[in-house]
Structures are given as C-alpha cells and as structure tokens.
C-alpha cells in the first residue's frame, strides 16, 4: 500500500486524508445512530404509562431526558407542563418542536461532511490525473520533428494519473453509499420522533383536562 501511495505522488495525500476522515465519520455515525440511543421501541409506551394520571416527578423527567433523543423530546413536554400547567396546546407543541429541531440537528451532524468527501474525492482524483498528464507531456520533447521522451518520467506520469483516478473513486463510492445509508436512517428516526411527539402531545392535552 505504501508503495502505491509513493508511486501516486503527492496528489494522493489529500485523498488519503479524506479516506481517514470518512472512516472516522462512518464509525462515529454508526455508534451515535444506534436505535437505543435515538428511539428505544418501548420508551413512548413507558412514558405514557408513568404519566397516566399526572405529570411525573422531576427526577423521573430527568431520567427520561437522559435516556435517548426521543426521551429528550418527551421530557420537554413534561417540563413545559411542570413550569406552566395551564400552557396552551400551541405553547406545548412549540416547546417540543424546538427540542425536536435541536435533536434533528444532532442526528444530522457530520452527514454534510461525509457528503462533501463523496463529492470532492473524484475531483481530487481528477486533479491527480491532470497532474499526471502534465508530467507525461512534460516528459516529451521534440527533436527534429520526432517525439522522444524519458520513459521513466513517462511511466511515472501515467502511474500518477491512474492511481489518483482509482483512489478518488475508491474513497468516493463508499462515502456516498454510507451517506445515503445514514441519510435514510436519520429520516426514519425523524419520522419516528415526529409521530411519537404528536401522540404524546395528545396524551398531555388529555392529562391537563
């Protein structure tokens, strides 16, 4: 691998940096976007059960908030009622929507960076290809109308062009695949959070009556 990097020349180093960054982002997103950390399947039912007759105590709300992203959204509804039991439906929804937007921002964190790498890697590979072509043409010289050149420099230019093109695609394709995967996963989580919040708001409105 090191010999390939050396043969590809300096243009490949930005691609190496992009590959390392993309790998780190993919690992981080896999860890952060676990279902248990975002929307545990039974959490909404547990929150509804614990508040069947009244708003739970602050320590229970704190535990719910620290449970997951969904728990944070649900806890904001409890906190709104604790601070103002007569708050309107509009204020209650606004509070939960504000918390939901903050949660959505966290879920989408680093996705734009991964998409940027997927878009930029082929261009960086193309840059290496152009530099390799420049070296190829630079190795040619005309003598008496005949084109002659340095074979070693010619081979080096070709290797730079081909290695950078291939490495750019190697970095871009997995980055694009993982970006699409995480984008779909986040969209699914956001839909779950929205539906759960809507059901929870109806429950809180009934609780106030």
Q: What tens digit of pLDDT does each residue of 73-114 get? A: 999 999 988 888 888 889 999 999 999 999 999 999 999 999
**Which residue's structure tokens are 């708003």?**
55
pTM: 0.83
Over 70: is that where the pLDDT of 196 sits?
yes
Over 50: is that where the pLDDT of 145 sits?
no
Nearest in space to 42 (alpha carbons), one of 60, 57, 64: 64
Over 80: is that where the pLDDT of 57 sits?
yes
Q: What 3-state class would DSSP assign to 140?
A: strand
Distance CA 97, CA 80 (A): 12
CB 161 within 8 A of CB 127: no
* Number of domains into which the chain is organized: 1
Q: What is the mean pLDDT of residues 195-206?
A: 91
* pLDDT category of residue 7 using cuts at 50, 70 and 90: low
Structural domain of 147: 2-208
For position 201, what pLDDT does the model report? 93
CA distance from start to end of the chain: 69
Residues with Cβ within 8 Å of 95's Cβ and at least 6 positions away in sequence, in order, are 76, 77, 79, 80, 87
**Residue 13: both structure tokens together:** 């180093």
């Amino acid at each position: 691998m090191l010999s390939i990097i050396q043969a590809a020349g300096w243009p490949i180093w930005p691609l190496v940096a992009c590959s390392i960054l993309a790998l780190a982002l993919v690992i981080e997103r896999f860890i952060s976007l676990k279902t248990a950390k975002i929307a545990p399947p039974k959490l909404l039912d547990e929150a509804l059960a614990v508040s069947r007759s009244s708003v739970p105590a602050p320590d229970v709300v704190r535990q719910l908030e620290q449970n997951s992203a969904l728990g944070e959204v649900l806890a904001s509804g409890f906190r709104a009622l604790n601070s103002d039991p007569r708050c309107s439906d509009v204020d209650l929804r606004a509070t939960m929507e504000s918390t939901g937007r903050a949660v959505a921002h966290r879920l989408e964190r680093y996705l734009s960076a991964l998409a940027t790498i997927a878009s930029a890697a082929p261009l960086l590979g193309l840059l290496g290809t152009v530099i390799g072509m420049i070296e190829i043409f630079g190795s040619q010289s005309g003598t008496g109308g005949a084109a002659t050149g340095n074979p070693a420099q010619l081979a080096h230019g070709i290797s730079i062009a081909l290695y950078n093109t291939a490495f750019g695609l190697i970095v871009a394709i997995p980055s694009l695949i993982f970006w699409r995967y995480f984008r779909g996963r986040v969209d699914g989580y956001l839909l779950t959070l929205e539906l759960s919040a809507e059901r929870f708001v109806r429950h809180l409105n009934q609780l106030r009556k």
